[in-house]
Structure 1
Amino acid sequence: MKSDTRRSMEVSNKGFTYDFNNERRGIALLIHNEVFDKYSGYKDRPGDGGDFIRMQEIFTKLGFDVDAKRNLTGRKIFSTIQKVSESKIHEKSDCFVCVIASHGEEMQIETKHNVIIKEHVIVGTDGQCVKTRDIVEMFNEDYCEGLKDKPKLFFIQACRTSNATVLGMDSGHTLTITERKQPQGGMFDGVEDMQVDSKITDNVDSNYVSTNENQKSNNENSQCEDNLDTRHVSTAETYLSRRQLVHQVTDVECPEDTLLMFASLSNNFAVRNSSAGGWLLNSLYSQIKEYIETGKICSTEFTQILNGALKEMTTKNFKPSDITSRLYGAFSPGCFTHCLSRDVLFLEKQYK
């Protein structure tokens, strides 16, 4: 009966879904940078170790051949991406997944008619950058023919702020609270009910925070901070005082049959908890795991699951350390964009 149901699903979905009946599920490439070189200009990213383990677990459960890498320089990131794009496995695969967790920035590359053109980059452990566009491009049909007409899914836990213009985080709106709810994050709605606990504090994943001895001490003593991934000014206070309104365009191309999911909107920080890990990767993990455990993963279109991850991220509130207290209660939403032409259904893999 199970086999008949599966065949019926395949026939009914033909033409509306990508072919997930290939010999292999595909490669899931994980690149996680936690420890940065002393002279790179970037701080370490504590909490990423948990993300690294969870991403291996969840994509293994989905049937992927997981290729997991840690602490790569900019050059090594590029060479690793290039090598994976040349793999023959893609010819026998359903799809491809790439997860990147590191510092990130949107670099100003050109200014015309008062418009700032920026390009998102991923930072290596040596401080050298790789363009996100170049990473994505290596898996389009021009460079990776084996993935032609197959979905390519990219998940990027990295900031999208820049020197030219940064908003940082969404401060939200003041509301009259008529009902209190207990969100998934375990914090009550309403600022009066929220207290900063140094053991469950959110910090910006960033080098915006100055590095004097007192602040270093505070950071070292806070074991579960949420952090933001960027580094442009010496303190959060200085950063917040230099907001500008500038017309801008961020160049992150999304080729055909590709999905890009970011931990934040353009000009925003990506939040990472130094104990629990990145907001995006935590939510992605919990949502996929739930659909696997309930048996709904085979019948649920994948972007619906991603919408669930974004919804889960909205239940989190930023709880900064004292040195970034003006960001208290702010919000950094994730987002995704795609040029998928069909539905993505992770059908049960019947290996040949």
Structure 2
Amino acid sequence: MKLELLKLVLSIKVIVGIILSLPVISVIGSEGEDPVAGGEDPEENCYNLRTRPGLCLHICLLEFDPEDVNKTLEQRHSSSVEMEKMQSTFERLGCFVKSVRNPTDEEALEFLQEGKKFCEELKPSFLVLIISTHGQESTSIRNAKEHPSGVAASRREREHQLFFHNGKTLQTREIVKRFEPPSCKSLADKPRLFFIQACRSIFDDENHENFDRGVMIQLQSSATREKPVEVPRQKHERLQDTADAKVRISEPSEQEQNERVQEVLKWSEEELETKRQILQYIKWLSESNVAKEENPDGRKKLSDALTKKRFSQPKRNKILAASEGYEQDIFDHFFNAIVSEPAPCGNDTLIMFASAPGKEAYNRAKQGGWLITNLEAQIKETMDQNPERVDLLAELTNVSHRMAYEFETETNRQEDRGHKSVPCLYHRFCKDFIVWPEEMKRVKELCEKDDKWMDFFKMKP
């Protein structure tokens, strides 16, 4: 009996040893099953990026030919360089990359729709969308609400817009929403990254300053501070930076001048109507026994708002006199613009703009946009030093540092020199975004044998 039991134990040990010695084979399921059971990443609190490649879409604008002959958009420098940099960067991070150059707004929407379709079919482990173009923030009035005074209160919001080849725009928020669940179910609980190389300038406020002058700070001595990595350039070559913003360079046409006259007449009508509404609102405040409050700051804000609305000085003075004690209430009700999120940042979403709200982003000749240039340089530097592991959130912080400390505008115009631009990062990641490049490379090689993944490269640009 003891001999038989000993033989049984030895047999079990042999079987276990054979099983443990078998090679591990990873297979990408045709219906989107993950090769790792349960889809859990070995590192705690990390997105599972080891099992399937990511998809990267890049919309890049260099040339503009607006349908509106009165609209002029400057050409962007080095768009081809941007495409090469982003393709190289995100291929190394485990993505299949597809780019489109100079699309119209409709062509861009078709490209995004095709990309979304491939997301649903291929179920990538993450999505990256990069857009390089001109941009702006404009004010829209929405959600007019009824009010006891009889004067509706409107919500004024800043909305970020992106320009396309034909001069038409798309809202950044609408582009991002296309890939948010439930609109794109396959990306639920998966990271979605959006990089926007475009200005966030404000052109409908003549008193707004669209550039960032920066501040003087004390840096470490050169002996202790690491030397920044510079992009090689030819001797005596001068850097040229331009803004990724809508710029008018043509003289106004006769049609524009006529439209200007009509606009002035419209201002006069709006001035009278706004004055009537403000006086009606003041009357309601008084009859409702709303307490008056001395508020110099509110008075200044109301005065500035009336000035921006082009009220004549006599009318402005009359309104300010009637508004005494109610200035903040009136400003909040009629003029207070709410700077809303430029795009909906849902769960598992990251959005990185090349500049802060209301500020210009810059594009450098022969190098491309500042955000694109520094993103590529930072990832390359990290992977050259430590190719085993990339913590993307940490790298994006370093990208911001590079732009803040190592870049400022260099142009032929003295007044445009020395401006700064620092990226603005929004995210609602609930896990770390860690990439293991060598493992992602092996996963991509497996997928390259699958016709469904290869169809992604046949997608019409």
TM-score calculated relative to the size of structure 2: 0.59
Contact 2:141 2:154 in 1 (8 A): no
**Does 2:241 match 1:202?**
yes
**Does 2:213 match 1:171?**
yes
Residues 179 and 20 from structure 1, CA distance in 2 versus in 1: closer, same or farther, beyond 3 angstroms? closer
Once the two structures are overlaid, the 10-residue window that deviates more, 244-253 or 126-135, is 244-253
Instruction: Quote how far apart the aligned CAs of 1:179 are.
Output: 5.0
Alpha-carbon displacement from aligned partner over 1:248-300 (angstroms, at most 9, x marks no partner): 413321111110001001101110012211100000001111222223452x4
Picking from 89, 94, 104, the partner of 2:135 is: 104
Picking from 174, 184, 195, the partner of 2:228 is: 184
Contact 1:120 1:250 in 2 (8 A): no
Give the Cα separation in 1 of the matches to 2:46 and 2:226: 37
Q: Describe the SS at the equivalent of 1:29.
A: strand
1:130 is matched with which residue? 170
**Does 2:82 match 1:51?**
yes
Q: Describe the SS at the equivalent of 2:425.
A: strand
Picking from 383, 390, 396, the partner of 1:306 is: 396
Contact 1:265 1:333 in 2 (8 A): yes
Instruction: Quote how far apart the aligned CAs of 1:51 are.
Output: 0.9
Give the Cα separation in 2 of the matches to 1:173 and 1:246: 28
Give the Cα separation in 2 of the matches to 1:60 and 1:177: 36
Q: Describe the SS at the equivalent of 1:93.
A: coil
Once the two structures are overlaid, the 10-residue window that deviates more, 331-340 or 162-171, is 162-171
Kindly name which structure, 1 or 2, has the bigger radius of gyration based on alpha carbons: 2
* Percent of residue pairs bearing the same amino acid type: 25
Give the Cα separation in 1 of the matches to 2:183 and 2:230: 45
Alpha-carbon displacement from aligned partner over 1:98-120 (angstroms, at most 9, x marks no partner): 11001111121127879741111
Contact 1:114 1:247 in 2 (8 A): no
Contact 1:204 1:320 in 2 (8 A): no
2:190 is matched with which residue? 150
Q: Describe the SS at the equivalent of 1:203.
A: strand
Picking from 359, 365, 368, the partner of 1:274 is: 365
Give the Cα separation in 1 of the matches to 2:407 and 2:359: 16
The amino acid that maps onto 2:213 is S
Picking from 97, 103, 106, the partner of 1:75 is: 106
Alpha-carbon displacement from aligned partner over 1:118-169 (angstroms, at most 9, x marks no partner): 1111111101111111111111111111111000001110001122344322
Contact 1:288 1:297 in 2 (8 A): no
Alpha-carbon displacement from aligned partner over 1:56-100 (angstroms, at most 9, x marks no partner): 111122221111110000111112112211225665321000110
Structure 1 unaligned blocks of 5 or more: 188-196, 213-241
Contact 1:98 1:155 in 2 (8 A): yes
Instruction: Quote how far apart the aligned CAs of 1:177 are.
Output: 8.2
Q: Describe the SS at the equivalent of 2:394.
A: helix
The structure with the greater share of residues assigned to helix is 2
Give the Cα separation in 2 of the matches to 1:291 and 1:201: 27
Give the Cα separation in 1 of the matches to 2:245 and 2:395: 29
Residues 136 and 198 from structure 1, CA distance in 2 versus in 1: closer, same or farther, beyond 3 angstroms? same
**Does 2:46 match 1:13?**
no
Picking from 383, 388, 409, the partner of 1:292 is: 383
Residues 243 and 317 from structure 1, CA distance in 2 versus in 1: closer, same or farther, beyond 3 angstroms? farther
1:27 is matched with which residue? 55
1:62 is matched with which residue? 93
Contact 2:202 2:210 in 1 (8 A): no
Give the Cα separation in 2 of the matches to 1:120 and 1:168: 14
Residues 12 and 64 from structure 1, CA distance in 2 versus in 1: closer, same or farther, beyond 3 angstroms? closer
Q: Describe the SS at the equivalent of 1:58.
A: helix
Give the Cα separation in 1 of the matches to 2:118 and 2:59: 17
1:339 is matched with which residue? 428
Give the Cα separation in 2 of the matches to 1:182 and 1:318: 22
Alpha-carbon displacement from aligned partner over 1:290-315 (angstroms, at most 9, x marks no partner): 222223452x4211010111111111
2:161 is matched with which residue? 121
Residues 280 and 33 from structure 1, CA distance in 2 versus in 1: closer, same or farther, beyond 3 angstroms? same
Residues 160 and 82 from structure 1, CA distance in 2 versus in 1: closer, same or farther, beyond 3 angstroms? same
1:225 is matched with which residue? none
Backbone CA RMSD of aligned residues: 3.2
Give the Cα separation in 2 of the matches to 1:159 and 1:297: 35
Once the two structures are overlaid, the 10-residue window that deviates more, 124-133 or 201-210, is 201-210
Give the Cα separation in 2 of the matches to 1:58 and 1:174: 33
The total of aligned residue pairs comes to 303
Instruction: Quote how far apart the aligned CAs of 1:21 are.
Output: 2.6
Give the Cα separation in 2 of the matches to 1:146 and 1:177: 47
Give the Cα separation in 1 of the matches to 2:426 and 2:74: 29
Instruction: Quote how far apart the aligned CAs of 1:206 are.
Output: 3.9
Give the Cα separation in 2 of the matches to 1:102 and 1:154: 14
Residues 176 and 158 from structure 1, CA distance in 2 versus in 1: closer, same or farther, beyond 3 angstroms? closer
1:221 is matched with which residue? none
**Does 2:287 match 1:258?**
no
Alpha-carbon displacement from aligned partner over 1:161-201 (angstroms, at most 9, x marks no partner): 122344322212345789567863769xxxxxxxxx88313
The amino acid that maps onto 1:311 is H
Give the Cα separation in 1 of the matches to 2:248 and 2:227: 29
Residues 156 and 46 from structure 1, CA distance in 2 versus in 1: closer, same or farther, beyond 3 angstroms? same
